[in-house]
Amino acid sequence: MPTPSPQIVEVAIPLPLEGSFHYLLPERLQDQATPGKRVLVPFGRRKLTGYLLGVASAAADGIGELKEVLEVLDEEPLFTAPELEFYRWIASYYLHPLGEVIKMALPAGINLVSRYRCEKGEDGTPIMREYLSGGKNVRTERFYRVLPGSAERPRGKGGEILDFLAEQGESPAGALRERFGACSPQLNRLVELGAAACDEREVYRDPFRAASFGHDQPLPLNPGQREAYDRIAAALAGGSFSPFLLHGVTGSGKTEVYLQSIAAALSAGKTALVLVPEIALTPQLVGRFKRRFEVGIAVLHSGLSDGERFDEWRRIRRGEACIVIGARSALFAPLERLGIVVVDEEHEGSYKQSEGVRYNARDLSLVRGKLAQAVVVLGSATPLITSYHAAMNGRLGYLHLPSRVRELPMPETVMLDARGQKGLTFLPPLVDAIRENLEQKGQTLLFLNRRGFATYLVCHDCGQVLRCPNCEVTLTYHRGKGRHVCHYCDYSLAAPTLCPTCGGGEITLLGRGTERVEEEVQELFPEARVSRMDRDTTKGRGGHARVLKALEDGSVDILIGTQMIAKGHDFPGVTLVGVVSADASLNLPDFRSSERTFQLVTQVMGRAGRGDRPGRVMVQTLAPEHYALTCAVAHDFEGFYREEIAFREEVGYPPFAHLVAMTISSISNPQAEKAAEEAARQLRGLKTEMRMRVEVLGPVTAPLGKVRGRFRWQILLKGRERSELHRLLARFRAGYTHPSTVRVVIDVDPVEML
Ligand code: ADP
Ligand code: ZN
């Protein structure tokens, strides 16, 4: 008789290592060891937490060398088989270790409760045990209710509490304290008397749930919205993967289409996932969903504590939330029966994660949608060139909302030529327009994409510009702090009075940031109430909402801001938008700089005239003939697309090629260069050997040649076929070695080319 073969399991480990690992599963753990749970395994000399993927399919040779799983750490699996399939897809597409992908996809909160205790194992040897379930991270609260019967009724506060409980049925202790002040003695007394009972229950932390949002009804759709909705609803009924591009100008009623499409999905028993850029995830937006739907809604954003995030995740996992609204990482929300995924503002660069697993949530929404046979709606006023191209070629269903609802006119737009007007922050027509708007009690938004007071400090004697010693980018003066700050690494330097290079005394601030523009506006219009919105004024929790609230309730006349003010907000009071400068983004060394500028200017312009009064827009620029600006000002997306797609085709950029960027860095520049040269040499050799049409460009120093003390070199791979790029990189990674002080980062479908 053959002895029963021991089980071999596959475990993913969250370390930067290729592949998964095999372990033996001891018999005592076989009942608990379900795929999707975490396990404690020996790894080298350490003990690590890994993710149990399943029984290994590999033949059981070499069993003798396999180590045993020490413990199963979870009572319930953390992920399902379809979720694992999604994680595997991501790991292989982005060339990233599966264990790290899984770790990123799960809420950080689950790790918080991991505590270790040393215990004796069955054979007496000590083992480390990790404790998780029911840990500190689950919040509980006492709930009180009246007990029927004729218990003695106390007088005073105790009596009032009893009446309140009788009226409410029951109440959590927190709500009682809010209403009656400190009342623990009274509550204890009520329980003693047998007049009330209390029990302790698990509760969720939710910053939004306490707020009351009221209710509203679906709006009657206009013909454009109706057609979009009908096609989405038909696709939902069809029950197979259907991706759409919803191209609708700002204020065209896209959100209403999302809401009604989601309602259709819910009534078919499905769930919905809504992704928005972090910055658009405001109480305003969440409120629209909460007013419309009675079902549980989970909200995920970066402002949540790990505990809150863990609570939201558990509500979703348990099926208590059928709608999830969140930023990038909400893509991994554990929704089952997914019917529809909405990606609002699909063109936003913030869908790309720029560290760790470099995934793009917009792209992955299509993958998740396909795996779940769901409808995916990518919405934007300024779709990505690649999305529009896909729609024109039938790979995305095209839904178009060409005009604003309620026949609101598009804002009247003027381009102002700033050439030869050196030194003026505002050209005279813009000053006049601001004054006029103030007199008519309209609100003004002024946009420029530089924060701080001035761009840089320049010495008139030696011409040197003050730069960050770690990153080699110019430092920006922040007047509030009196320091020059690096926007990449946060290095800062007290404002010098003499040039640090030559000791010259004549140093001047050049260029303008939001802080300086704010000051100039206040000087020009002393009676105006001026405010500023950028990364400096919105720091901390609720900082963003605070500035928006002031605009909303009319306590601000003029708001100056960076791209933060461009995104997704609906302010009926704004009747004038001034683009103070759009040139910085046009001049970035990135093939998408025109596309970004077009999107940005269009989005900023869209903030004007969303209420009852028509809006005006003025765009000041040094490049008044650039097609990104002329087309934006003419509200001409198709015209912009034609110019841009011709450029992309000519130079072979997406959608005509796929890109992979490889960044090789080291604190020693010669070492980084040598490693990069070697990588490029090997890549070229492989592509010839494998007979591929992949182009290997570089190495060149990255546009940001030095960041946080590391010198950076870049290699860009361009290929017509994704599969070719992937095969090439797989071979490359198997053979390329480099010193441990060199870091190699592979970015598939890079978004920032800096
Ligand atoms: P978008 O998401 O495209 O910017 P919204 O959905 O926010 O547009 O719509 C802009 C405004 O128009 C909102 O105040 C919304 O309530 C209103 N709205 C949308 N659809 C309709 C409709 N069919 N009838 C009347 N008002 C509508
Ligand atoms: Zn720096």
State mean pLDDT over 87-115: 85
- The more confidently predicted of residues 109 and 591 is 591
pLDDT of residue 113: 47
State mean pLDDT over 84-113: 88
Strand order across the 710-719 sheet: 695-707, 710-719, 658-666, 743-748
Q: Which amino acid is at 558?
A: I
Question: What does the DSSP 8-state code read for residue 694?
Answer: -
pLDDT winner (highest mean) among 206-215, 289-298, 372-381, 559-568? 372-381
DSSP 364-426: HHHHHHHHTT-EEEEEESS--HHHHHHHHTTSSEEEEE-S-GGGPPPPEEEEEE-TT-TT-SS
- The more confidently predicted of residues 210 and 253 is 253
Question: Rounded distance, CA 647 to CA 395, Å?
Answer: 21
Phi, psi angles (nearest 5°) of residue 374: -110, 170
Q: Residue 530: how many CA atoms within 13 Å on its side-chain side? A: 19
CB crowding 128-165: b at 16 or more within 10 Å, else e: eebebeeeebbeeebbbebeeeeeeebeebbeebbebb
What the block records as the tokens of 126 is 């000590």
Q: Is 251 in the pocket of ligand 1 (CB under 6 A)?
A: yes
Q: Are 716 and 661 in contact (CB under 8 A)?
A: yes
pLDDT of residue 614: 76
Q: Is 252 in the pocket of ligand 1 (CB under 6 A)?
A: yes
Residue 597: name the closest of 566, 573, 638 by CA: 566
223-406 against 408-451+513-649: fold identical: yes
With a CB cutoff of 8 Å and minimum separation 6, the contacts of 54 are 9, 10, 35
pLDDT of residue 587: 67
Phi, psi angles (nearest 5°) of residue 474: -70, 145
pLDDT score of 112 more than 50: no
Question: Rounded distance, CA 8 to CA 55, Å?
Answer: 6
Give 603 Cα–ligand 1 centroid separation in angstroms. Answer: 16
Residue pLDDT, tens place only, 721-749: 999 999 999 999 989 999 999 999 999 99
Q: 223-406: what CATH class?
A: alpha beta
Handedness of CA 360, 366, 372, 376 (dihedral sign): positive
Question: Rounded distance, CA 647 to CA 701, Å?
Answer: 24
Q: Are 745 and 703 in contact (CB under 8 A)?
A: no
Percentage of residues of the chain with pLDDT beyond 70: 88
Question: Rounded distance, CA 408 to CA 401, Å?
Answer: 13
- Output the CA–CA distances (angstroms, integers) from residue 158 to 115, 154, 552, 677, in the order listed: 41, 6, 43, 79
- The more confidently predicted of residues 632 and 404 is 632
Q: Are 570 and 536 in contact (CB under 8 A)?
A: no
Task: Work out the pLDDT band at 363, boundaries 50, 70, 90.
Answer: very high
Average pLDDT, the chain: 86
Question: Rounded distance, CA 635 to CA 606, Å?
Answer: 10
pLDDT score of 613 more than 90: no
Residue pLDDT, tens place only, 518-567: 888 999 999 999 988 877 777 766 677 777 788 888 889 999 887 777 76
State mean pLDDT over 245-266: 94
Give 228 Cα–ligand 1 centroid separation in angstroms. Answer: 14
pLDDT of residue 631: 95
Residue 443 bridge partners (DSSP): 574
Residue 235: name the closest of 132, 390, 339 by CA: 339
Q: Which of 245, 249, 255, 262 to mutate to test the pocket of ligand 1 (most atoms within 8 A of CB)?
A: 255
pLDDT of residue 135: 41
E strand or H helix at 444, and its extent? strand 443-448
Q: Is 45 in the pocket of ligand 1 (CB under 6 A)?
A: no
Phi, psi angles (nearest 5°) of residue 749: 55, 60
Give 255 Cα–ligand 1 centroid separation in angstroms. Answer: 7
Task: Work out the pLDDT band at 455, boundaries 50, 70, 90.
Answer: low
Question: Rounded distance, CA 38 to CA 199, Å?
Answer: 32
With a CB cutoff of 8 Å and minimum separation 6, the contacts of 170 are 143, 144, 145
pLDDT of residue 264: 97
pLDDT score of 580 more than 60: yes
User: What is the CB neighbour count within 10 angstroms for residue 259?
Assistant: 22
Question: Rounded distance, CA 253 to CA 538, Å?
Answer: 28
pLDDT score of 630 more than 90: yes
With a CB cutoff of 8 Å and minimum separation 6, the contacts of 624 are 415, 416, 417, 418, 419, 630
pLDDT winner (highest mean) among 139-148, 208-217, 289-298? 289-298
Residue of the CA atom closest to atom 5 of ligand 1: 253
Q: Can you give 460-491 as a three-state secondary structure string? A: CCCCCECECCCCCCECEEECCCCEEECCCCCC
Helix (H, G, I), strand (E, B) or coil at 538: coil
With a CB cutoff of 8 Å and minimum separation 6, the contacts of 346 are 245, 362, 378, 379, 380, 383, 384, 387
pLDDT of residue 1: 47
State mean pLDDT over 406-422: 79
Burial class for 335, CB neighbours closer than 10 Å (0-12, 13-18, 19+): buried
Q: Is 260 in the pocket of ligand 1 (CB under 6 A)?
A: no
- The more confidently predicted of residues 453 and 387 is 387
Domain extents for the chain?
Answer: 7-113, 140-202, 223-406, 408-451+513-649, 658-748
pLDDT score of 375 more than 80: yes
pLDDT of residue 395: 97
Least confident of 45-49, 134-138, 179-183, 310-314: 134-138
Burial class for 38, CB neighbours closer than 10 Å (0-12, 13-18, 19+): buried
Give 238 Cα–ligand 1 centroid separation in angstroms. Answer: 27
Give strand ranges (E) for 94-182: 115-120, 126-131, 139-146, 170-172
Give 314 Cα–ligand 2 centroid separation in angstroms. Answer: 39
pLDDT of residue 128: 56
State mean pLDDT over 664-681: 95
Question: Rounded distance, CA 202 to CA 222, Å?
Answer: 45
pLDDT of residue 209: 55
Question: Rounded distance, CA 312 to CA 530, Å?
Answer: 38
Atom in ligand 1 nearest the alpha carbon of residue 256: 6
pLDDT score of 273 more than 90: yes
Question: Rounded distance, CA 367 to CA 370, Å?
Answer: 5
Q: Is 550 in the pocket of ligand 1 (CB under 6 A)?
A: no
pTM (two decimals)? 0.82
The architecture of the domain spanning 658-748 is 2-Layer Sandwich (3.30)
pLDDT of residue 64: 66
Residue of the CA atom closest to atom 6 of ligand 1: 253
Pick the CATH number of 7-113 from 3.40.50.1000, 3.40.1440.60, 3.40.718.10, 3.50.50.60: 3.40.1440.60
Task: Work out the pLDDT band at 618, boundaries 50, 70, 90.
Answer: very high
Q: Which of 285, 405, 570, 603 to mutate to test the pocket of ligand 1 (most atoms within 8 A of CB)?
A: 405
pLDDT score of 108 more than 90: no
- Output the CA–CA distances (angstroms, integers) from residue 232 to 96, 236, 378, 396, in the order listed: 34, 6, 12, 12
Q: Is 254 in the pocket of ligand 1 (CB under 6 A)?
A: yes
Q: Are 256 and 221 in contact (CB under 8 A)?
A: yes
pLDDT of residue 36: 95
pLDDT of residue 133: 44
Q: Is 382 in the pocket of ligand 1 (CB under 6 A)?
A: no
pLDDT score of 488 more than 80: no
Residue of the CA atom closest to atom 19 of ligand 1: 253
With a CB cutoff of 8 Å and minimum separation 6, the contacts of 646 are none
Q: The domain 408-451+513-649 belongs to what CATH superfamily? A: P-loop containing nucleotide triphosphate hydrolases (3.40.50.300)
